[in-house]
Amino acid sequence: MAEINRVALVTGAARGIGRSCVVALAQPQTLIYVNDVANLPLAEETCELARVKGAQAQVLPFNVADSHEVAAAVDTIVKTSGRLDVLVNNAGIAKDNLIARMKEEDWDRVVDINLKGAFNCIKAATRPMMKQRYGRIISISSVVAYMGNPGQANYAASKAGLVGLTKAVARELASRQVTVNAVAPGFIATDMTADLPEKIQAEMLAQIPLNRFGAPEEVAAVVAFLASEAAGYITGEVIHINGGLIMA
């Protein structure tokens, strides 16, 4: 079996953008840990897609919101593979409601998975990355962190939180050659967005200059770039992928 020289972990990678990130990162001599908390047969399918591109891939189930599970999983990666080069914080959920009707538990759940989940994974990945004096951390924020969206106070706050988290950690880890960035996708056609009412989808489309929704592969291509050697001088940055919906 080919020697592994690059180890990656992508959270929430059973489907959607996470799956596309795994495929975009997949190449020979790369080992990718495909995390999810549910949809594990789909996570196995994601692994197959990576293997087709010559990578090694393995499902690693855990809940990003549980710091103990995250620490144990990253420990397993480092013990088994000797390193962790790339972390993609992709796992995320939405539980939408207008602020007056938003339940506290829906606020907590979204913030726990989207924001604290990234904190848990970054914290666990920091030690091996600092030790090896190399790392690439990429988190999936959202355009709504910048423009807001009615009914998404919890989601928008969690995604805006990721931006601050990214910038703070980028400053902390820069001296060890660990880069920390985020991408902020706009409306991307995945299972998550398919759940939105048609009326909302049509309203969103009307605001997008490129006049179409994005594809998960278009987000994954930017993530793969940020994970590459070519992006070594980019840190603390957020790259917008939104068809012109906002021009920051």
Q: Strands of the chain (E only): list them.
A: 6-10, 30-34, 56-59, 86-89, 135-140, 178-185, 238-241
Nearer to ligand NAI, 146 or 187 (CB): 187
Nearer to ligand NAI, 3 or 242 (CB): 242
* Cα 206 to chain centroid, rounded: 27
Tell me the closest approach of the beta carbon of residue 86 to ligand NAI, in angstroms: 16
Nearer to ligand NAI, 47 or 132 (CB): 47
Tell me the closest approach of the beta carbon of residue 98 to ligand NAI, in angstroms: 19
Nearer to ligand NAI, 92 or 135 (CB): 92
DSSP assignment of 141-186: --THHHH--TTBHHHHHHHHHHHHHHHHHHHHHGGGTEEEEEEEE-
Whether residue 151 contacts residue 98, with contact meaning beta carbons closer than 8 Å, is answered with yes
Q: How far apart are CA 159 and CA 164, in angstroms?
A: 9
Nearer to ligand NAI, 156 or 178 (CB): 156
DSSP code, position 229 = G
Tell me the closest approach of the beta carbon of residue 242 to ligand NAI, in angstroms: 9
Integer-rounded Cα radius of gyration of the chain: 17
Whether residue 152 contacts residue 144, with contact meaning beta carbons closer than 8 Å, is answered with yes
Residue 97's contacts (CB-CB under 8 Å, 6 or more residues apart) are 103, 106, 151
Tell me the closest approach of the beta carbon of residue 14 to ligand NAI, in angstroms: 4
Please tell me which residue in 33, 134, 146, 155 is annotated as part of the active site: 155
Q: How far apart are CA 92 and CA 108, in angstroms?
A: 13
Whether residue 146 lies in the annotated active site: no
Q: Which residues bind ligand NAI (CB under 6 A)?
A: 11-12, 14-18, 35-39, 63-65, 90-93, 113, 117, 140, 142, 185, 187-188, 190-193
Whether residue 24 contacts residue 50, with contact meaning beta carbons closer than 8 Å, is answered with no
Tell me the closest approach of the beta carbon of residue 127 to ligand NAI, in angstroms: 21
Residues annotated catalytic, as ranges: 155
